[in-house]
Structure 1
Amino acid sequence: MHQISHVSTQATRSFREDINGLRALAVICVVLFHYKFAAFDGGFIGVDIFFVISGFLMTQIVISRINESRFSVWEFYKARTMRIVPALLFLCFVLLFLGFFLVDPIRLERMSKEVIESNLFISNIVLWREVGYFDSRAEEKWLLHTWSLGVEWQFYILFPVCILALTKLVRSKSWLLAVMLVVLALSFLLCLLFQNKYQQATFYLLPTRAWEFLFGGCVAVMGCNRGSRLAGYWGTFVGLVAILVSMVIVNRLTLWPSLPTLLPVLGTCAVIWANDDRASWAANPVMRLIGLWSYSIYIWHWPFFVGWSYLELPLSFALPAFGVFFAGGAVLVTLAQRVLAERADILFHQRGLRFASIVVAWIAITGLAANMLFLRGVESRYPLGPERVEALRQSTEDWGFPRSCFGLKPDGETKACGIGLSNPGRPIVFLGDSHASLWYNRFATDKVDDMAPPIKFLVAAGCPPLVGMLRAEQPSRCQGFLETALHEVEKSHARRLILSAFWTTYLRFGGTDMPCFVAGAKCRSAADPDEFRQQVDHVIDSTADRLLSIRKNGTDIVIVLPVPSHDLNIPIVLAMREFYGFDTRDLVGISRAAFDERALLSRGVLKDLARRVGATILDPADYLCDLQSCATADKDGIPTYIDSNHIRASIIKKPKFDFLDRLVAP
């Protein structure tokens, strides 16, 4: 095995206070971000810090052992397994054990699936495939955060093999560094090329994340500062400033990973390179302790938050409660380690036996999760019986519209779907977000009437059909869709254009999914209600101009006002409350007064838009609500909603929704 000459292997075994401090800083950022502290809206950069640290340490370990002629890929995998897997398995076991007693079957079934995905280290791939407006909210995913462990593990699998192969071809640090920089550049270029069209893939997958690990790896190959206190001080100072600045200027509107990701990545590299042996900023007891426990804090903080949200406890107390919970757990683990350490050393004195025990535990816990998944969350535990659970589960899955029909194709064309699209005549077009796709279920039949007009659906999940407005959390996902769709409406000389969307979430300041407003190449959120209303007025002006140009083709325009919506995911929360015997009365109906207040601005804005362009208004609330409430369940108490705001496909086919038929009438 060839050595890589002149590659520094310093500090591969010694404890580095500065790297431990970076771990502490990273996990603090992530936890405060997940626990919704406004000042840490950019706290997700903590994951990028972890990636750089991993790249640095893994490169040091691999190259140092290659130089010492004692590197084994198998031993590397075993070491990573023993470092990462035991804590993850313990977490998964605790979740499944407590879940059996404390979590309803629907959520336990989902938890079991997530445990299997996490134990296989494929959470990132599954999230990439599943992610979308219809996927369960982040607060409902117990192991959402393990996507980063998936990326790291995939890096661990490939990286040592690639380095080992390179050592057969190159013997100098310069050549190794050159090859790593080329791969780094290709990964970063791929990230920049895919960040708009394939944002979810760019976020979750290794090929567009590898460059972050490789930056850390390049620092390891080049070698760190060797004792210059001035260089150590300034390197640390510049690096920490870069990390802190990035945390301030980055937020959930920032496309990520992207060019701005260089700031925390290079900042982390600078701190690592500085190799400050004093690292006073990280050497205090609190930072040292948080750094040492950073992995455990990371893997436990999110399931605790999900459990807290699941029980509908006040979010303002979630962080203090987690602090008490984790501190108590850490004390118990420390005491247990001291008591059992000697016996464990006797029992597992051989490294191979320790590894075998981990493998057995992995098989057992993954098998337990698979069994719970097979039993559909152990439905027999549900107090109202398995049939009730199945009815609630079907409510969450009763969609109907093809999921392959959302947004744009890679070539920029719409993924248009519909009924009778090959029929002659001018089409009737439904345009909007997922709410527009709801009405597909009213008109979709097994036998298409050849004489009926074609009905086309142009929809992009989570994208408001208003000119100059995008979804704040993922603006790039909506970019280009509306203009492409409107151009298609014009080109087809549509007979009727029907606009429908989750208006109350876009046209209400302070909502859960506030939009951003296009300003040149950027999309900015409003800072206060007054600015929000000004921006909305500008958007309505732009939308009115665009619709008036479409009307010149003889296209009728219909605007569907907001569908009654709840604040809670109705079937999911109903399952939890029934499991515990809690009050469910507020879930079987939406207060008409509360809904009218929530929809006040959106209704006024949309009616004004309709007046300006000569559009017809259709208000679902007139048919779905009485003076007191809007029903969200049928006479048997089965939810009529998929979640908080999407009506079930099977419900829309019922006579109660006959009012929709006028939308496709001549």
Structure 2
Amino acid sequence: MTFRKDINGLRAIAVLAVLLYHFKISGFGGAFIGVDIFFVISGYLMTSIIFSKLATDKLSLLDFYIHRARRIIPALAVLCVAVWLFGLLYLPTIDYRELLYTIQNAILFVSNIGFANQVSYFDTPSQENWLLHTWSLSVEWQFYLIYPIVIILLRKFLSLRSIKYIILSLAIVSLILCIVQTWIFPVKAFFLLPFRSWEMLAGGIAFLFPLKLNNNTYAKLIQYLGFVAIALSIVFISTSMHWPGYLAIVPVVGTMLIIWVNQHSFILNNMVSQWLGKISYSIYLWHWPFAVALTINGSINEWQYVVYSLLITLLLAFLSYFFIEIRVKINKTKVIQIICYLLIIIFVVALSSTTRHLLRAYPKLRASIMSKDFYKIDSISAEKYLSIARYCLVSHDMKQFPECKAGEGEPSLIIMGDSHAAAIYPAIKKVNPKATLLWTHSACLMVEGVHYANNMQPGCINLFKQKKALLETQYSNVPVLFVNFLTSYISEKNVGNIYFTKPTISLNDLQQQFRKAYIHSVCEIAKHRPVYVLKPIPVAGTNIPKHMALSLVLHGSTVEVTNPISDYYKNNDFILGTIELAKKQCNIQTLDTLPYFCADNKTCITTENGYPLYFDNNHISQYASERLAPIFEPIFEHKP
């Protein structure tokens, strides 16, 4: 196939867009569409290779897979080993375990499936995942595996002309599924092949249905339209919009137009664009860990750190391209080549899985290579919850919920809430002489009448219904403590996803429905027993153990993270107001962690004596929880 400078230049635009987005350069909020440009390019190139070979009956699946493996696997494997080593030396164990799992998924090209079952690509936890960017490589690899097989099977029964229209039809079906799924399950629409394949098939359509223009002026005009579509997408599309969905049509069609007309352009053909295009894969591989490091360290908006990171990225990409992408060639038989690439994958999988096993079997193994400061961070963050609290935290759909009791004797407290409730249990354990019932469910808003779009969280709804019914007949006068990360539920991102009386259409609508339902819920339960509500716990804003560990690497000591107390009141103003209204209406009692986290009434701390007070960016650590024990003493001073 003839080398096309315009496509190589498009690669440069795509990777520059990705860099702009990941390094948070202002004014380019939609630059994540760089990945969509890559998808279209991949689809075009793969279709041109497959159909050109088919036309001469020279298509070999082994050859096709070998060329893809040579291009992708060695460089990816080196990245995986590099982050494995970095994590071994510098990441808290809890984060290192997660990284090892992600390494395995990345080299097996299934990381997109793993991420699809977690949180959104645009949410903070995802932005701190060291290999999040491998999701797109997994999507492409899955496409590479399936696409030629489908075409070969179709060729046995159909003409090439018929296959072209089948590919067009498949692209339309995938696009429709993508649009629908973006509204129903946007995370799955973002990460999974069935909802992304239309973008690669769009590239195939650009090859199969060439645009024949005799007028160079028209061709230039179409090319400019393509540039405008991409530029508008980069500037005006944002993470607050439903993505990919129908909006992805704009950059995809823009890329198709540029590929279709195949015109010379200074934007695409200049020396810098051509050089960046050649090393774009390696740039894409190596830039993301640096973006994650800056995000965790809180330096992502400091231009000097961004410049240093970009320069190091370009250096590593240059080395990766010339010493791995170009040089690594296995001059053996096809079968031997396939075996060698499989062995590379097996090696990385074995490395990550063996390390995970050793960490489980010998939890103190890493202590020998840790500094004293690092060990303090690691020991606190290694366990998120006490074992009983973790056991009682339901995280899957259930219809029946057995009692979950911590401690001995008769229950003297019932805790209802989400993972924040599980995180505060160490404090309760210190001051409760009797047993505690833990009625907790992950990501569960404990409010009567809550509905989740698309029937999400049925277990959460069932749990609240069953336990509320139980309270009507049992545990009279046993205090109930509500602990929920309320601010995360009643937020802009959940408009339309959470509602109480009717689907919500605005944040104000969601807030008003919630306020009414929340006050009703706690007041109903307060009719026959004391009810305590823990006011919102200050959030850290960044993953504190990761930040502290990275600070040790970059600065030789931990750097304190503090947040102004004004941020707390700004973020929690509505929730605090709702709790106060409930307190006035039915005399519930409130408990407050603010005096501990924000003792000077000006700033809120996230560390103490070198120990993290959080095990991520919002859940308090066991260390912090135990120090909150005095806050909960008033519960047990209650006399029935």
Give TM class, smaller chain. 0.7 to 0.9
Cα separation, partners in 2 of 1:334 and 1:521, compared to 1, 3 Å: same
1:195 partner SS: helix
**Aligned equivalents of 1:522 and 1:246: distance in 2?**
28
Instruction: Please say if residues 113 and 369 of structure 1, whose CA atoms lie closer than 8 Å, have aligned partners that are also in contact.
Output: yes
CA contact (8 A) 1:571 1:641 kept: yes
Distance 2:20 2:454 in 1: 26
Among candidates 647, 653, 656, match of residue 620 of structure 2: 647
Compute the displacement of 1:93 (Å): 3.8
Q: Structure 1 length as normaliser, TM-score?
A: 0.73
Task: Give distance in 2, aligned partners of 1:40 and 1:202.
Answer: 23
Cα deviation, residue 607, structure 1: 4.6
Counterpart CA distance in 1 for 2:223 and 2:551 is: 51
- Once residues 648 and 203 of structure 1 are traced to their aligned partners in structure 2, the CA distance between those partners, rounded to angstroms, is 32
1:391 aligns with 2:351: no
Residue type matched to 1:67 in 2? A
Letter in 2 for 1:30: V
Q: Is contact 2:21-2:32 (8 Å) kept?
A: yes
* Bigger Cα displacement from structure 2, 297-306 vs 158-167: 297-306
- Residue 569 of structure 1 aligns with an amino acid whose one-letter code is N
| Alpha-carbon distance in structure 2 between the residues aligned to 1:75 and 1:640 | 54
CA contact (8 A) 1:418 1:454 kept: no
CA spacing shift, 1:387–1:160, aligned 2, 3 Å: same
Distance 1:608 1:523 in 2: 22
Q: Aligned AA for 1:223?
A: P
- Matches of residues 340-359 of structure 1 in structure 2 within 5 Å? 348=331, 358=341
Ranges in structure 2 where 5+ consecutive residues have no aligned partner = 360-364, 406-412, 473-478
Seen in structure 2, the aligned counterparts of structure 1 residues 196 and 442 have a Cα distance that, compared at 3 Å, is farther
- TM, length-normalised to structure 2: 0.76
Alpha-carbon offset, residue 272 of structure 1: 1.9
Tell me the equivalent position of 1:207: 194
Do the aligned partners of residues 71 and 332 (structure 1) sit closer, same or farther apart at CA in structure 2, a change above 3 Å counting? closer
Farther-moved stretch of structure 1 (234-243 vs 291-300): 234-243
Q: 1:165 aligns with which of 153, 160, 183?
A: 153
Aligned to 2:284: 298
Aligned with 1:282: secondary structure? helix
1:453-483 deviations in Å (ceiling 9; x for gaps): 997556636x798999x9xxxx979999999
Name the SS for the 2:240 alignment partner: coil
Q: In the alignment, what sits opposite 1:9?
A: none
Question: Shift of the alpha carbon at 1:321?
Answer: 1.3
Aligned to 2:13: 25
Q: Write out per-residue CA displacement over residues 318-368 of structure 1, whole angstroms, 9 at most, x where no aligned residue.
A: 431133223444565688699x97xx89x9498777766655555545544
Identify if the C-alpha distance between structure 1 residues 398 and 483 changes in structure 2 by more than 3 Å, giving closer, same or farther. closer
- Does the 8 A contact of 1:219 with 1:273 survive in 2? yes
Structure 2 partner of 1:10: none
Give the corresponding residue for 2:362.
none
Equivalent residue of 1:170, what SS?
coil
Partner of 2:408: none
Going from structure 1 to structure 2, the CA distance change for 1:215 and 1:282 (only over 3 Å counts) comes to: same
Local SS of the residue matching 1:14: coil
Question: What amino acid is the match of 2:443?
Answer: A
C-alpha displacement of 1:575: 4.4
1:578–1:395 distance in 2 versus 1, CA, 3 Å: farther
Change (3 A) 1:486 1:420: closer
Counterpart for residue 475 of structure 2: none
Instruction: Tell me if the contact between 1:429 and 1:489 (Cα under 8 Å) persists in the aligned partners.
Output: no
User: How far is 1:79 from its partner?
Assistant: 0.8
Deviations 1:516-539 (A, max 9, x none): 767999977xxxxxxxxxx77x76
1:491-570 aligned at under 5 Å gives the runs 500-502=483-485, 541-547=512-518, 559-570=533-544
Contact 2:519 2:578 in 1 (8 A): no
Task: Sort the Cα spacing of 1:281 and 1:453 in 2 relative to 1 into closer, same or farther, 3 A.
Answer: closer
Does structure 1 conserve the Cα–Cα contact (< 8 Å) formed by 2:8 and 2:268?
yes
Counterpart check, 1:598 vs 2:571: no
Asked if structure 1 preserves the Cα contact closer than 8 Å seen for 2:12 and 2:280, the reply is yes
Name the residue aligned to 2:253: 266
1:318-467 alignment runs, 5 A limit: 318-329=305-316, 348=331, 358=341, 361-376=344-359, 378-384=366-372, 391-396=379-384, 400-401=389-390, 405=394, 419=403, 430=416, 434-436=419-421, 438=423, 457=440, 460=443
- 8 Å CA contact 1:382, 1:579 repeated in 2: no
Task: Determine which of 229, 234, 255 is the counterpart of 2:242.
Answer: 255
Indicate how the Cα distance of structure 1 residues 630 and 253 shifts in structure 2: closer, same or farther if over 3 A, else same: closer
- Structural mapping, 1:91-170, within 5 Å: 91-97=79-85, 107-131=95-119, 137-170=125-158
Q: Distance in 2 between matches of 1:67 and 1:166?
A: 14
CA distance in structure 2 between the aligned counterparts of 1:80 and 1:122, rounded to whole angstroms:
16
Distance 2:578 2:190 in 1: 37
Q: In the superposition, relative to structure 1, how do residues 503 and 491 fare at CA in structure 2: closer, same or farther (>3 Å)?
A: closer
Contact 1:226 1:275 in 2 (8 A): no
Distance in 2, Cα, partners of 1:397 & 1:548: 29
Out of 69, 79, 82, the residue aligned to residue 67 of structure 2 is 79
Amino acid at match of 1:15: F
Provide the rounded CA distance (Å) in 1 between the counterparts of 2:437 and 2:352: 47
Q: What SS does the aligned partner of 1:618 have?
A: strand
Q: Which residue matches 1:620?
A: 592
Cα distance in 2 for partners of 1:387, 1:552 equals: 45
Alpha-carbon distance change, 75 to 279 in structure 1, aligned in 2, over 3 angstroms: same
Which residue number in structure 2 is paired with residue 530 of structure 1?
A: none
Task: Specify whether residues 182 and 638 from structure 1 end up closer, same or farther in structure 2 by C-alpha distance, changes over 3 A only.
Answer: same
Where does the alignment leave 5 or more consecutive residues of structure 1 unmatched? 1-12, 422-426, 508-512, 525-534
Identity of aligned residues (%): 26
Counterparts of 1:487 and 1:107, CA distance in 2: 32
Q: Relative to 1, partners in 2 of residues 1:439 and 1:284: Cα closer, same or farther, differing over 3 Å?
A: same
CA pair 336-539 structure 1, distance change in 2 beyond 3 A: closer
* Distance (Å, rounded) in 2 between the aligned partners of 1:301 and 1:361: 22
Aligned length: 602
Q: CA deviation at 1:165?
A: 0.2
User: Any idea what SS the aligned residue of 1:144 has?
Assistant: coil
User: 2: distance between equivalents of 1:94 and 1:626?
Assistant: 39
Quote the Cα distance in structure 2 between the aligned partners of 1:580 and 1:658.
Answer: 39
| Distance across 1 between alignment mates of 2:95 and 2:459 | 36
